Amino acid sequence: MKITRDFIRLIPKSELHVHLDGSIRPTTLIELAREQGVELPSYTVEGLQEKVFKKRYAALDEYLSGFAYTVSVLQDAESLERAACELAEDCTSEGIRYLEVRFAPQLHISPHMQIERVVQAVNSGMSRHQAEYNSGPRVVSGEEPPFHYGIICCALRMFHADFSHYFKQFSDVHRFSANKRLRGLASQELALAVVDVRDRFGLPIVGFDLAGSEAGYPAEDHIEAFRIAHRHFMKKTVHAGEAYGPESIFQAITDLYADRIGHGYHLYSENLITSPQITDKKRYVEELAQYIADRRITLEVCLTSNRQTMPHMKDWRRHAFWKFLESDLSVTLSVDNRTVSDTTLTDEIYLASQVFNLSPGKLKDIVIYGFKRSFFPDNYSAKRCYVRQVIDYYEKLELLESQRQLDAESMGRQV
């Protein structure tokens, strides 16, 4: 069977690595900016793509600078709810049946909106679309899987006082603390708050993340925050190996108990190892990869996003994804940021299928890995039933597509 874009769009997919503030619709960003008096470099979609959301960036930090605009318009509950609902709509429209939306609540906290309201607003947007989608006749009849979602809250590797009202206030209160301690304290406060909000309001907060500038801001600064999350049975995913080397991935797994790794691009980058204690760099990355494989720690791969932030990647085939496949690592494909990277999950999977010559069997494995390694917001039995439903639906579509292609070939021969 030939893998087509239409087939990829139809199959049930999971999206495990997508940022809310990086996926706001450009038209919504422009509309909210006009309403709220937020200044943008351009008020057209084309202008924003030219001046803010570029095809390539010099480095990760430049890529992240565009979030200042998107975050600026998401400072009230109504805007957050709208952005979340629209993200859910955009995802289900291309066959995504399970979505984990992630964001940093600290960037949206203000005197008028504490963390409870921030997370509740995002949850309201998601649940509103979930209720609408799951009341559709095909879902109600059991012909296709329902839509589910979870929320992941992000601590930040680094921040400045001007990042948000919350961070300014936090920095003022702890003005005598060294930056390293300040970052750790902020993450601890977030971990405690997230656990409290999850338990008090019964919200589907399924994971804790560490995001933001990686190089120079090690995971070890946030150990205590992740211990808090770990003690409260919260699953962990960590951005690592995106702008730093294998040691960053090792820290995420060992110090922060990561169940999944966001990106992991530099897993095999021996040249980025800096510790003088690691003398055999080749062996180090091989053993690290084996460690990841043995424990089925899933890598959330974001192809387009990686290429945008890594100027040296002239050819898609230089992406480490092919090595991940060779090593039989557990991988899933994600968009990272739909707007900032101007992509969809269908685009990412189709790109991977073409560049890395995925077989139909390997495509299916990658897609199903996403559901199996998700932080599903229900018990394990419910998750197993849901995954089985997804597999059955996938195989039904696969059979129909194979027959369609056979019929098309037969018609072509007859002509």
Profile the chain (415 residues) by mean pLDDT over runs of 10 residues: 97 98 97 96 92 77 84 97 98 98 97 96 98 98 97 96 94 93 97 98 98 91 98 98 93 97 96 95 97 96 91 81 95 96 97 96 97 98 98 98 92 72
Architecture of the domain defined by 5-414: Alpha-Beta Barrel (3.20)
Closest CA to 212 of 175, 178, 248: 248
- What's residue 415's pLDDT? 55
- What's residue 273's pLDDT? 95
Separation of alpha carbons 84 and 329, rounded Å: 31
CA dihedral 28, 30, 36, 37 (to 10 degrees): 180
Q: How many CB atoms lie within 10 A of CB 342?
A: 17
- What's residue 132's pLDDT? 98
The residues facing 236 across adjacent strands are 208
Whether residue 168 contacts residue 186, with contact meaning beta carbons closer than 8 Å, is answered with no
Domain ranges of the chain: 5-414
Separation of alpha carbons 63 and 81, rounded Å: 25
